Structure 1
Amino acid sequence: MLSKFHYGILFGAMSVSMAVQAQDYLPVLQYHHVSVSSPKSTSVTPEQFTEHMDYLKNAGFQVVDLRSALDDLQAHKALPEKAVAISFDDAYRSIYQAGFPILKERNFPFTVFINTEPVERKSRSFLTWEQMKEMEASGGVFANHTIRHPYMLRKEEGESDDAWLSRMTKEVDTVEALLIKNLGHSPKMLAYPYGESNRTIRTMMEERGVMAFGQQSGVVSADSDFENLPRFPASGAYAKLSTLKTKLDAKPMPLLAEQAGGDFATDKPVSIRLTFKDGKYRLKDLVCYVAGQGKASLDWVSENEVIATASKPFGVGRGRINCTMPDNSAKHYYWYSNVWIRSAPDQGYVSEKS
């Protein structure tokens, strides 16, 4: 018979074991098409998608409902060990035709961010509300990707700032209403088309209680900006299983603060200032890569603070810096990414101060 002392030891050991098994971060995979005939840059073939899903199952990953997991992280509740979430953008019918059977067979929950204009006009290339209801019965969740998939920070010709914001508000609110009308509920999540947002748009999300995703890579944690969350692309050039394995093993960069100078890049090279939390990290092994340029220069301004700078300005479009650092076990990488927009005058982007 165990004494109170031995019960205490046993309970303590169980608590430690549970703590080890708990996870306080979440990688989220982003897909678009599941098809051999759609653009390769945003597609996985059914064979590739099967390979990905089989790996998740065989390697012991726990595929979780995205919104529930985000709520738990925000509340500092532990997720299952090896938790991961699956998401799709754009409501393509190939998700239903080729992706859904694979997910259903494995009993994996998933989220699809839908742009409703092609759904409402009954485009044959996009999901129907009836298909969505069928998918909901087997773990599917449908969320907001705006009506027409616009560049949310671009104004139309002659449009005022107030008119632009009103149009973007309609893009968001209309889809929320359609989700409730056709499916009876909304998870209050949104994926920004092209990953683009600014402070004004993110404030709109916060006021509506909507959690939103950009297109910077990384894992979600309680420290994340829940109006600009990261995901890992898993299509096109990122569909290789070896690449996917590295991302699934990623951890959030242990940052106390970050300063990126805003959402827009200029005609000067971008830089980002990262301040690390106290702890024993392999800071000497931190590497930051600039899209299309190679390694960023690193200037350590203190023991736990670094400035990463690109070697030259970004061209017009979206550019990013990705930073990785091995953890002490060398089995995982801490991961961080930031995206900037370099706009051209004729694109009509809103003021960089918005």
Structure 2
Amino acid sequence: MQASSSHPVKKKLLALITLFMPFISFAQNYLPILQYHHVSEATPFSTSLTTEQFSEHMNYLAQEGFKVVDLKTALDNIQAGSPLPDKAVAITFDDAYRNIYQNGFPILKAHQFPFTVFINTQPIKQKNKHFLTWEQMKEMTHFGGTFANHTVSHPYMLRKLEGETDKAWLERIKLEVSSVEDALITHLGSSPKMIAYPYGESNSELQHWLTNEGFIGFGQQSGVIDANSNFANLPRFPAAGHYAKLSTLKTKLASQPMPLLSYDNGGLYAKDTPVSITLTFKKGNYRLKDLTCYVSGQGKAELNWITSDQVTATAPKAFRAGRGRINCTMPDNSARHYHWFSNVWIYPKESENYVQN
């Protein structure tokens, strides 16, 4: 016989659950990360958002109950299999721009949101007035700020100098990284051993070295992190420029990792033919028929289903020189969230001496 819901003990239990439901924090095993640069009205549009827009973003996070988490702690928890709070999200900035301190920091401090700034130290050493000082960074660490590696001079990390050997290139790049680590420890007392690659560029050799050195790395492809992610080249969502609209931000914050078993992008470098990427999905009940892939500057990719759980997405035409990407999204079964995956290719100009591995 089924128990009646009118039983006094059961009624009391239901009342307690209802009472404490707003305070229950449900576990999350993935993490979206927001990427900012400038918080200013007077800086390049593509990497900037206004103080008002940044305030709007942070107010939305607070009002909708998002839990802004410390980036390094959250990543350590994901790797260890420990759950994150429900609606966890992390906030990052690239480059050590002073307008982060002037315009962004007061808003973050008011909300008590932790954040991470990836710094390049050359302009700091040169006392460039547009960049943070160590004194400002020390102040920010007392209010949730963490400072991490963005190299000394912000180079294209895969480009060799004229006449430079592969060995000399790698030693130069290692020095770009290790010098920042020394500066972080000297001026701030510690380093989280995280690096954001300038322009999002890295290769397997750099990623392997950094992993062996205990680093976590970040590119500039978009997506959501979980335990299956490549922790030497993690994705983040850009939230400035064309992506600063609150409607765009809402979609990204509601995103989840794409349920991929594997993918094959054909290599890091694009050529003078259209790129393609093959995605193999995990077994499960997914809305694969609603998968859509978009090519930067070209519209939708052509999808060719090889099997019921494997598809190749091909760009309509070849990329121009620079960096191009394919972003793939798929609604989850609730239709309230999107699974998200992105891949970036580099198409070097003939004059650019990129390493070939």
Q: Normalising by structure 2, what TM-score?
A: 0.93
State the AA in 2 paired with 1:88: F
State the AA in 1 paired with 2:298: Q
Q: What are the equivalent positions in structure 2 for 1:247-286 lying under 5 Å apart? A: 247-286=252-291
Q: SS state of the match for residue 299, structure 1? A: strand
Structure-2 residue corresponding to 1:3: none
In the alignment, the residues of structure 2 paired with residue 226 and residue 341 of structure 1 have an alpha-carbon distance, to the nearest angstrom, of: 20
Deviates more, 1:204-213 or 1:83-92: 204-213
1:189 is aligned, of 190, 194, 205, to 194
Q: SS state of the match for residue 96, structure 1? A: helix
In the alignment, the residues of structure 2 paired with residue 306 and residue 21 of structure 1 have an alpha-carbon distance, to the nearest angstrom, of: 33
Q: How many residues align?
A: 341
Inter-CA distance 268–94: structure 2 relative to 1 (3 Å threshold): same
In the alignment, the residues of structure 1 paired with residue 90 and residue 328 of structure 2 have an alpha-carbon distance, to the nearest angstrom, of: 22
State the AA in 1 paired with 2:274: P
Structure-2 residue corresponding to 1:215: 220
Tell me how far 1:19 sits from its aligned partner: 11
1:66 is aligned, of 64, 71, 81, to 71
Structure 2's unaligned 5+ residue stretches are: 1-9
2:54 is aligned, of 30, 39, 49, to 49
Q: SS state of the match for residue 119, structure 1? A: helix
1:78 aligns with 2:83: yes
1:22 aligns with 2:27: yes
1:203 aligns with 2:192: no
Tell me how far 1:205 sits from its aligned partner: 1.2
Structure-2 residue corresponding to 1:293: 298
Deviations 1:158-198 (A, max 9, x none): 00000000000000011011100110100000000000001
Q: SS state of the match for residue 99, structure 1? A: helix
In the alignment, the residues of structure 2 paired with residue 337 and residue 106 of structure 1 have an alpha-carbon distance, to the nearest angstrom, of: 31
Structure-1 residue corresponding to 2:152: 147
In the alignment, the residues of structure 2 paired with residue 34 and residue 314 of structure 1 have an alpha-carbon distance, to the nearest angstrom, of: 31
Deviations 1:275-294 (A, max 9, x none): 11111000000000111111
Q: What are the equivalent positions in structure 2 for 1:170-181 lying under 5 Å apart? A: 170-181=175-186
1:137 is aligned, of 131, 142, 161, to 142
State the AA in 1 paired with 2:206: I
1:118 aligns with 2:123: yes
Q: SS state of the match for residue 301, structure 1? A: strand
State the AA in 2 paired with 1:269: P
Percent identity, please. 63
Tell me how far 1:20 sits from its aligned partner: 8.6
Deviations 1:66-95 (A, max 9, x none): 000001111111100000000000000000
2:174 is aligned, of 169, 174, 186, to 169
In the alignment, the residues of structure 2 paired with residue 76 and residue 288 of structure 1 have an alpha-carbon distance, to the nearest angstrom, of: 30
Structure-1 residue corresponding to 2:161: 156
Deviations 1:85-116 (A, max 9, x none): 00000000000000000000000000000000
In the alignment, the residues of structure 2 paired with residue 307 and residue 195 of structure 1 have an alpha-carbon distance, to the nearest angstrom, of: 24
State the AA in 1 paired with 2:68: V
Contact (CA 8 Å) 2:159, 2:355: kept in 1 or not?
A: yes
2:348 is aligned, of 323, 340, 343, to 343
In the alignment, the residues of structure 2 paired with residue 142 and residue 287 of structure 1 have an alpha-carbon distance, to the nearest angstrom, of: 36
Structure-2 residue corresponding to 1:95: 100
C-alpha RMSD of matched pairs (Å)? 1.7
Q: SS state of the match for residue 304, structure 2? A: strand
Q: SS state of the match for residue 323, structure 2? A: strand
Contact (CA 8 Å) 2:25, 2:85: kept in 1 or not?
A: no
